[in-house]
Amino acid sequence: MIKKIFIILVLVIVLPVACLYVVGIGWLGGSWTPAQVVAGPRPIAQLVEEIGGDNPQILFGDLHSHTSYSFDAYLFNTSWMKGGGVVTPADACDFARYCSALDFWSINDHAEGLTPRVWADTVQSIRDCNDNAGDPRNPDMVSFVGWEWTNSNVRDVSSHYGHKNVMFRSWEPGQTPTRPIAASDQYIFTKAPAPLLGMLSFTDGVGATSDFGWYMEEARSTPICPDGVPAGELPDDCREVALTPTSLFKKLDEWGFDSIVIPHGLAWGTTNPLAGDFQTQMDEHQERYQKLLEVYSGHGNSELFVDFERIGQTPAGGRSCPPATENFTPCCKQAGEIARRQCADLSSGDCETQVAAAIEQFLAAGAPAGRKLFPEQNLDDWEGCGQLRGTFQPSSMYVPKLAAQYSLALGFDKAGQPKRAKFGLIGSSDGHQARPGASYKESNRLLYTDHKDLGRDTMDIDSFKQDKESNSFYYTGGLVAVHTAGRDRDSIWRALSNRNVYATSGNRIQVWFDLLNGPAGEVPMGTEILMTNTPRFRVKALGEFEQLPGCPDYATAALGEERLQSLCGGECYRPGGDRRKAISRIEIVRIRPQVRPDEKISPLIEDQWKVFQCAANGEGCIVEFDDPEYAEGGRSSLYYARVIQEAEPLISGDPFGCEYDDQGQCIKRNYCIGGNATPEKNCLAPAEPRAWTSPIFLEHR
């Protein structure tokens, strides 16, 4: 009898687990075969724009795109999540060329999971993409190659350096590294138990899951490169690791190829420490590499510095619950309000005791575990606590001291030594579907964004995140625009290196921002210049073109109807006629960086220093202004323009999904998750698309 029970247990438990292990470890699988790039080029639309002068052309791109070679991208697109399937760099090339019609883009899969073999496949796909771009002096599109270096130590602020995209000017043989450089020798996704991975076969099938397991096993089994050996002399079949930005820059120096390192996602509380402070990274900052900052992406807006505390501190060094502000409520404070609503007598002393106890218990448990103190409460009962409210498409669980404005206002590192981060500002998508530039139409939430649910009411949405509502804070993503004299690689690279760039929230708004009276005459955005007299500036802006439905004929001819639907969702970038959307207003931001290590940051940032209203006629907007206080104050300053386009329905235009009362107060939140986010629903809400210019940096001395 015991023997039979044992055999039954083996058959019922051990055998299924063994089967899942075989699938998850990839024994039945093989390597993904990169798709072939569709032959190009596409026709180039020669749009000559004039708004008060002779201007260089403006090109639009996306410098942050992931494919299934990023482990998280594969998982996000499984049938369990949303069913996107395997996508490769060739798919990203075809999408950028025919669906989003970009002028340039970059591949940036996570280096922590890339093997030398996969990296070689990626570089070859980029070469193929450029080989199909037509005349190299005037290509339809320039494709750059790179990777993402991802350091996400969310528990230790001092050793957290965030996410950085590394991008190279060249892609020819011998002009790119033979392997990417990772931020860790152990990638979190490769630690997943094989039987757990094997369970994906229940939705994706044995074949697809086995291939994924094979790829993960390849990443696990590729040895780490030895220490102390110059990058160019390392074996070809090892994984190179740099644990800090300084060591990353050193290895890039050893390779000797032209490259740019672009920090991004700094203010996301889902992948950064909630007490993060960019000042702790300033001693590692090197402007020769880190010239640009991705201020907006499909994960939200990281521009504004809104001064509040997430967790306070008692005089004895313990935790306290900080006060709420106009646009932020700490969840410890909201825990007290929930406890208050449960009081039998709101005016009693017992009620105040219960409120204080709830706050203390929440602080002890921390977020998000503290929410379990009130298991009967739903997300709406927490009233958006822990999230930045009242701003344009914020990043989830926004971290104030990692925002762009805060970083630009710093003048000293953590040791009190003078140090500045003079970033140019860009936008990109950070999409994980191999669809760069997917912001041309707000028409397909699951295809164009990182939203992961399929409307399953039983699914614990984003259970691997710190807060369940994070899935509502995904957007179609941003773009980077460059001012350049040509469409070729070197012209685009020169504009990026000179910070003659600006960010948009995904719309192709055209913007010029110039200092008119520099010592040598007019200079553009991104310039750093020494001057002491009163500066005078000009901003010019044109709204983006209205879009026609469907795709242009050249895209249909190149991709065919079936792939046009599967890759582009049946919609492409397709401007029609000469009708442009209106520019509503232009806001000028002035920041006067620290001149003393103990100087408080908030007063140095004047977010709406000047605001100019524009005529709502679609004909653009031109404004000029000066700053006499600069000459009088004798203090270095930087200025940038925020250009606001007329409101339109955007995917997650309101990530809270608010219902409002007659006074405009949010009385109910319908997050774009679970039953509120079926595949047919795009979670649209009106919001104002925008662009952010790179600053002009004026130095007094």
Query: Between β-strands 292-297 and 424-427, what pairing exists: parallel, antiparallel or unpaired?
Result: parallel
Q: What is the pLDDT of residue 459?
A: 42
Q: What is the mean pLDDT of the segment spanning 417-440?
A: 97
pLDDT > 80? residue 512: yes
Binned at pLDDT 50, 70 and 90, residue 187 comes out as: low
Q: What is the DSSP string of 48-87?
A: ---SSS---EEEEEEEEE--TTSHHHHHHTSTTTT-----
CB contact at 8 A, 330 and 382: no
Q: Give yes or no for residue 666 having a pLDDT over 80.
A: yes
Mean pLDDT of 347-368: 88
Given this model, what pLDDT does residue 6 score? 62
- Whether 600 shows a pLDDT value over 50: the answer reads yes
Going from N- to C-terminal start, the domains of the chain cover 57-185+224-306+392-699, 312-382
| pLDDT for 370 beyond 90 | no
Question: Are 612 and 586 spatial neighbours (Cβ–Cβ below 8 Å)?
Answer: yes
The candidate with the shortest Cα–Cα distance to 121, out of 184, 179, 207, 38, is: 179
Please answer whether residues 445 and 683 qualify as being in contact, where contact means their C-beta atoms are separated by less than 8 angstroms.
yes
Residues 6+ apart with CB under 8 A from 154: 160, 271, 272, 273
Neighbours of 464 (CB within 10 A): 10
Q: Is 15 left (phi over 0), alpha (psi -120 to 50) or beta?
A: alpha
Task: Identify the pLDDT of residue 595.
Answer: 96
d(CA 452, CA 350): 44
Distance CA 302, CA 402 (A): 8
pLDDT over 50 at 463, yes or no: no
pLDDT in tens, 294-351: 999 999 999 999 999 888 887 887 889 999 999 999 999 999 999 999 998 877 888 9
Q: DSSP secondary structure string, 367-378? A: TTGGGGGSTT--
Mean pLDDT of 677-687: 90
**Cα 700 from Cα 400, distance rounded (Å):** 28
**Quick check: helix, strand or coil at residue 558?**
helix
**pLDDT higher than 50, residue 457:** no
pLDDT at 455 over 60: no
- Residue 625 — φ and ψ, nearest 5°? -155, 160
The pLDDT assigned to 9 comes to 61
Answer whether 65's CB lies under 8 Å from 105's CB: yes
- Of the two residues 56 and 163, the one the predictor is more confident about is 163
Going by pLDDT thresholds of 50, 70 and 90, the confidence category of residue 220 is confident
pLDDT value at residue 312: 83
Per DSSP, the three-state class of 264 is strand
User: Mean pLDDT throughout 285-290?
Assistant: 96
- Higher pLDDT: 461 or 81? It is 81
Task: Output the pLDDT for position 460.
Answer: 42
Determine the Cα–Cα distance for residues 698 and 518; give it in Å rounded to an integer.
10
Task: Return the CATH number of the domain spanning residue range 57-185+224-306+392-699.
Answer: 3.20.20.140
Do residues 107 and 245 touch, judged by C-beta distance below 8 A? no
Q: Which of 40-44, 143-147, 149-153 has the lowest mean pLDDT?
A: 149-153
- Is the pLDDT score of 198 beyond 90? no
Q: How far apart are CA 163 and CA 324, in angstroms?
A: 29
Measured CA to CA in angstroms, residue 610 lies from 425, 626, 643 at distances of 20, 10, 12
| Percentage of residues of the chain with pLDDT beyond 70 | 93
Contacts of 212 (CB under 8 A, 6+ apart): 26, 29, 74, 197, 200, 204
Structure confidence at residue 2 (pLDDT) = 72
pLDDT > 90 in the chain, percent: 68
What does the alpha-carbon distance between residue 349 and residue 655 come to, in Å, rounded to a whole number?
38
Q: How much is the average pLDDT of 674-680?
A: 81
> Alpha-carbon distance 597 to 413, whole Å?
8
Least confident of 248-252, 500-504, 543-547, 630-634: 630-634
Query: Which of 241-255, 366-380, 410-424 is predicted with the least confidence, judged by mean pLDDT?
Result: 366-380
- 523: Cβ contacts below 8 Å, ≥ 6 apart: 514, 515, 529, 696
- Answer for the pair 545, 441: CB distance below 8 angstroms, yes or no: no
* Least confident range of 17-26, 125-134, 496-505, 630-639: 17-26
Spell out the residues 6+ positions from residue 141 whose beta carbon is closer than 8 angstroms to its own: 40, 41, 42, 96, 97, 102, 103, 104, 105, 129, 133
What is the average per-residue pLDDT within 44-56?
57
DSSP state of 204: H
Rounded CA separation 320/307 (Å): 17
Quick one: pLDDT at residue 5?
65
pLDDT for 386: 93
Comparing 10-14, 136-140, 155-159, 253-257, which segment has the lowest mean pLDDT? 10-14
Q: Which band of pLDDT confidence, cut at 50, 70 and 90, is reported for residue 35?
A: confident
Residues with Cβ within 8 Å of residue 679, at least 6 apart in sequence? 82, 446, 454, 455
